[in-house]
Every structure is written in structure tokens, then in C-alpha cells.
Structure 1
Amino acid sequence: MKRFLGLAALAATVLGHSYTAQAAGIEFGVGHTSQSSMTYRLGLKSDWDKSWLQSDVGRLTGYWDGAYTFWDGKKSSSSNSLSFSPVFVYEFAGETVKPYIEAGIGMALFSKTEVEEQKLGTAFQFEDRIGVGLRFNGGHEVGIRATHYSNAGLSSTNDGVESYALHYTMPL
């Protein structure tokens, strides 16, 4: 556990320095797993500052996401994870509120290979996400997201785990 916390501190320092130049916001999330555990997420987001397919309907853009998640399992099955993911966002046009949909595939490193009864097989997991939300003028954002973690067959044990979360992002 001490080793994982040391790695988490190092990753937070490195991620913090890399986000300083283009920081978009800090994200707070609360979720629930498919196994009834709570999740608490703290993330940093950095916009790509690029857009494609821009029209009157909206635009395609994206961001880098780095996060720490605490998985509050029952008994001694609590876990921690660090994740990093590129996320594509289709942002619909709007003046003060812009609805969006997002999807991304990244990676995560768990402190344990078990979350509740789910046997992950490896500490390294792929992170797949899909979500919807609202972006407000001034950079604030609220949304809901489904995230799936799996080792994609790197181990014969691969139960995977899902999290369904509400999140709020405030600009830095």
C-alpha cells in the first residue's frame, strides 16, 4: 500500500506539471459499481485545443484525462486506481449551455487485483468510457459516465468491473 501511495504521489506530481500549461479543469466524481461499491474520483483534464467537423450542429473535440479513484469496497476489498485516457467529445452548439457526448479508451493501474468479488487478473486494466453531460459558459461542467475496466484478456482471469458516476468539473 505504501508503494502504491508513493507511485500515486509521483504520478500526481508529474500529471500536475504536464497539465499546468493547458489545464482545463479539475473533476470530482461520485459513482457506484455494478457490485454495489462506491467510487470517489479526483481528476485533471486538459483540453486538446483542437476541433474537427465543426458545423452549426456542433464540433468534435477532446481532452486528456488523468485521475485517482478510490473504490470503497466492503470489508477489506477497498482499492485505489490511477488512470490516464484520451477522450473524444462531440459538443453540440449552444450559447450558454452545450450538451455533449464523450467516449474514450485509456489505461488504469489498480492497487489490488480484486474489487469486491470481481477478480481483475492484473493490476493493469484498460479503461473504456462513455458519457453525456452539459458544459456551461465559464468552464463548469456536469455529467454522467459509465466506465468499464478490463485487462482485455492479458490474463485468463478477467472479470472486469464497471462504475457509473456523476461528475462535476470546475475550471482551474
Structure 2
Amino acid sequence: MQISNLTFNKSILHFIIFTRPTVLLAIILLSFQIAAVQLPDKEKQAVGVEYMTGTGDMHGVRIAYRPSYNHDLDIPLIGITRLSWETSLNLFDLHGSARNEATYGISVSPVFSKSLPNISHNYPLTLEFGIGVAYVHEEKFGGVDIGSLYQFEDRIGLLIGLNENQNSEIAIRYIHYSNGGLNTKNPGLDFLSMAYVYRF
């Protein structure tokens, strides 16, 4: 029985450390109550345009929208954290061996945002983290069988405000797509991205 429990505990530890590093990093960073500037005006909606590059020489553009449906949560040990909802249209263009091959997808994700200490009040910093769901119109593209039209979209990002009110921001993100084991084929897709976000 002890050997079985030990094996189970090792598999959980392996999953957390090696399979979901973005989740682990977000938990660590969000686990500190820190003095920081306030989050942007929660009554504002936002749009974003994002350039992505990643797995298999794949490039993409992501167009995102967040309605003014935001909630500030006072989470123990973390402090004030904002919950927002984001929907996006994702356009992927593949190069290299898959030249001129393209696909598209849509996603919906809850996004948690937390203010970070700032070097300058003119450039406020925000950490964001989210796990949402996505649909892609091709199960195979870029020479990769992703196993399912339905994917989970994990993200962790750093947003840098371009003014004190954070009406304009630049975001740097790591985004991971995976079907979460819904299919035996689950290679996952990884992207680094840069986005411009505008609130109004």
C-alpha cells in the first residue's frame, strides 16, 4: 500500500513540475501579497492584437476581446486579483515543410490578473494567468496531429502599461494548447507572443 501511494505521489509531483510549469509559476508568483499599483479601471472593456510564434515554425495572429465584466476577488494569501473573461479568434499560418497551410480557432478563457511592484508609475506591471477552452477547425495541421478539435488554452503573461491609467499595454505571453488527454494523441502546441492591448 505504501509503495502504491509513493508511486501515486511521484506521478502527481511529476505532472505539476514537468507537465504544467506555467501553472506552477503562476501559483508561486500569485502567492505573495505585495504592494502594487491598482489594476486598470474594471468598468472598461478591452481589445487586443497579438502576434504568436511557436511549435513547428508556426506563426499566428490572435484578436481578443474582453467585455467590461470584471470582478475583483480578495483571495487569501494572494490579495486583490481581478477575474476577467476573454474571447478570441486565432489565425495560424504554417511555414517550412507546411508552407502556405493555415487554420483558425476560437477560444474563451477566464483570466486572472494581479498587479506587481513597479519600477515606474508610468509603466505599471501586471501578471496574468488563465486556462480556457479552444476549438480549432483542423485536427491535423503543420504535420502534427493534435488529437482533438477541442483544446485547453493555458497562458501566463506579463503586461506593461504604457501610461499610468493602463489604457494601453504591451503583453508578453507564453501560451500552450493541449487536449488534456481527451485523446491518446496529445503533442501540445507552445507559443511565445507579443500583444498590444487597448482599453476603452
User: Tell me, which stretches of 5 or more residues in structure 2 are unaligned?
Assistant: 1-42
Question: What's the TM-score once normalised by structure 2's chain length?
Answer: 0.67
Size of the aligned set, in residue pairs, is: 149
Does residue 1:116 correspond to 2:137, yes or no? no
Deviation at 1:47, TM superposition (A): 4.6
Partner Cα separation in structure 2 for residue 62 and residue 99 of structure 1 = 17
- Secondary structure of 2:130's counterpart equals strand
More helix by share: 2
Q: Contact 2:50–2:62 at 8 Å: present in 1 too?
A: yes
2:176 to 127, 148, 164: 148
Alignment identity in percent? 23
1:50 counterpart residue number = 71
Residue 134 (structure 1) aligns with: 160
Once the two structures are TM-superposed, the CA of residue 83 in structure 1 deviates from its matched residue by 0.4
Q: Which is higher, the Rg of structure 1 or of structure 2?
A: 2
Corresponding position: 1:102 with 2:123: no
> Does the CA-based 8 Å contact 2:126-2:158 persist in structure 1?
yes
**Alignment-derived partner of residue 114 in structure 2:** 90
TM-score (norm 1): 0.77
SS in 1 for 2:193: strand
Which residues of structure 1 form unaligned runs of 5+?
1-21
Whole-angstrom distance in 1 between the partners of 2:166 and 2:115:
15
Larger strand proportion of the pair? 1
Aligned-pair CA distance for 1:138: 5.1
CA deviation after TM superposition for structure 1 residue 24, in Å: 1.4
Q: Is the contact made by 1:127 and 1:150 (CA closer than 8 Å) also made in structure 2?
A: yes
Quick one: distance in 1 between partners of 2:139 and 2:175? 17
- Superposition deviation, residue 117 in structure 1: 2.6
Determine the C-alpha separation between the residues in 2 that align with 1:47 and 1:113: 33
Q: What secondary structure does 2:57 align onto? A: coil
